[in-house]
Amino acid sequence: MAHAVKDLFPDVKVAIGPAIEDGFYYDFDIESPFSPEDLEKIEKRMSEIIDQDAKFERRILKKDEALNYFKEKGEDYKIELINEIDDDKVSVYEEGGFADLCRGPHLPSTGQVKAFKLLSVAGAYWRGDEKNKMLQRIYGTSFLTAKELKKYLNFLEEVKKRDHRRLGKELDLFSTNDEIGAGLILWHPKGALIRKTIEDFWRNEHLRADYQILYTPHMAKLNLWERSGHWDFYRENMYSPMEIDGIDYEIKPMNCPFHIEVYRSSLRSYRDLPVRYAELGTVYRYERSGVLHGLLRVRGFTQDDAHIFCAEEQIEDEILNVLDFTLFVLRTFGFDDYDIYLSTRPEKYVGSADNWDRSTEALKRALEIKGLKYEIDPGEGVFYGPKIDIKVKDSLGRQWQCSTIQVDFNNPERFDVTFRGSDGKEHRPIMIHRALMGSLERFFGILIEHYAGAFPLWLSPVQVSVLSIAERHVEHASEVLKYLRENDIRVEGKFDNEKIGYKIRQSTVSKVPYSVIIGDKELETGKVTVRKKSGENLNPMAKEELLDLLRKEIDSRK
């Protein structure tokens, strides 16, 4: 692709072009953005290069030779990359008169490339830094056969249809607004109803699991974050402090220090442990504007957070309980397929290596007791402890990070957290950080795409649409609507002077699970006609039968 671009646009400067999952991209420095017509021309030229079946030849150059070579070509980005290479030699690959800096390896020749497609163009800052120049990034993909390529392109079309940003607008669930700021979400009434349903379920299940619900402030004195270690290890994701009464305050990126202070607010005995605190806590983290993405990458979000304070001998049981709780919640929302990763000590960490080893072993043992398959993710633990990450797979087989379980020996030491043991002495508890869904915003975005906006009945913002056929049917339709609403069914009425076919289509497009139709026959029999969003008509039934049907489906959460 880089060869084709250079042939067609000789003044372009080439930057980097790695292979990525399901494809590749290449960044180019060019005056005007690439157009769809440009992509077609590039594809055509790529096909011609493939037909030439030119061999890829690897050349090893001394560093100064490589610098001179790319200086002559005016390739500034290659020069910057070469200067950062520690080795005194670099590898260059050449085919058909075009050469590029690359480690390799490559196919034997260009003719080995089979089915390919250029997918899109996007802006991308050089090195991902907003202070650098904006480049043009061309994405593409390649497969061994045209059949595999077609299957992948169909998959991408389905991904577009399910895009939560598009569906969020069409279904009036949420929005973002430049007047408010990038990465900050406005929950519209229908989206807020779904959020309330999720929150109610979350709180009820946590109370059943013997958690205590907390609410904590949105900011705190800066020295709290210095003590927790966040200011030293997480500062790049935090906002600048604000001064209030001569004291620096910081908007919170995490909830954990607040939960620690609640624990420390009174004396604790070994008989009190484990103490389990849970909070739907809204936090704020700095994300570069280039990576913000609908609900999936935001600057303000609500974590389904919890922290467990326990004695060291209780760690294993608590982790086992959290694993059971996590999988129950994920399955309730329709995620039965997932991958599990055990993340170990990173380069930058706090605490002793011995504590890290004991924490990692506790997580590992719990996974093995449950018979859960997992992979080691080396060096990906958080700065204060190792963790288990659970990544769900949606209905398209895509993987999403949601749940995490983290063991922390560090913060109890930093905050001098203790409990009185059976021996009458002070002991240090262990702290388990845990999130089941991750954040409500991200989880909601995943749910929208997983269900393509057609939520199961228990989550649907509108569960039933009551549709009148004519003006004379409105009174009876209103009675049915009132009956359902009084029995906690989320219901809307469409009683305007439109044809019934139009009202049914409106309900279907809005992905409402059930439509109740009221006409002459329904007035006469006192029953209602029920139509599912799939188009299936159910047998006429009394409104009490309909309520029973709805309640059973809602209670099943299917």
Residue-by-residue pLDDT tens, the chain, 558 positions: 999 999 999 999 999 999 998 899 999 999 999 999 999 999 999 999 999 999 999 999 999 999 999 999 999 999 999 999 988 999 999 999 999 999 889 999 999 999 999 999 999 999 888 889 999 999 999 999 999 999 999 999 999 999 999 999 999 999 999 999 999 999 999 999 999 999 999 999 999 999 999 999 999 999 999 999 889 888 999 999 999 999 999 999 999 999 999 999 999 999 999 999 999 999 999 998 878 999 999 999 999 999 999 999 999 999 999 999 999 999 999 999 999 999 999 888 878 888 888 889 999 999 999 999 999 999 988 888 899 999 999 999 999 999 999 998 889 999 999 999 999 999 999 999 999 999 999 999 999 999 999 999 999 999 999 999 999 999 999 999 999 999 999 999 999 999 999 999 999 999 999 999 999 999 999 999 999 999 999 999 999 999 999 999 999 998
- Tell me what pLDDT residue 551 has: 97
Residue 552 backbone dihedrals phi, psi, to 5 degrees? -65, -40
Which residues are 24's β-sheet partners?
Answer: 19, 140
In terms of Cβ atoms closer than 10 Å to its own Cβ (0-12, 13-18, 19+), residue 31 is exposed
Ramachandran area for residue 185 (φ above 0: left; ψ -120 to 50: alpha; else beta): beta
**Could you give all domains of the chain from N- to C-terminal order, each with its CATH number?**
2-146 (3.30.980.10), 170-338+395-451 (3.30.930.10), 464-556 (3.40.50.800)
Of residues 380, 388, 430, the one with CA closest to residue 406: 388
Q: What's the CA gap between 497 and 472, in Å, rounded?
A: 11
DSSP state letters, 304-360: EEEEEEE-GGGHHHHHHHHHHHHHHHHHHTT---EEEEEE---SS--S-HHHHHHHH
Residue type at 261?
A: E
pTM of the model: 0.90
Of residues 397, 277, 403, the one with CA closest to residue 332: 403
Q: What's the CA gap between 126 and 132, in Å, rounded?
A: 6
| Cα torsion 328, 331, 335, 338: sign | positive
The catalytic residue positions are 256, 285, 303, 305, 307, 387, 433
- Tell me what pLDDT residue 289 has: 82
Q: Which token pair is 487?
A: 């029995």
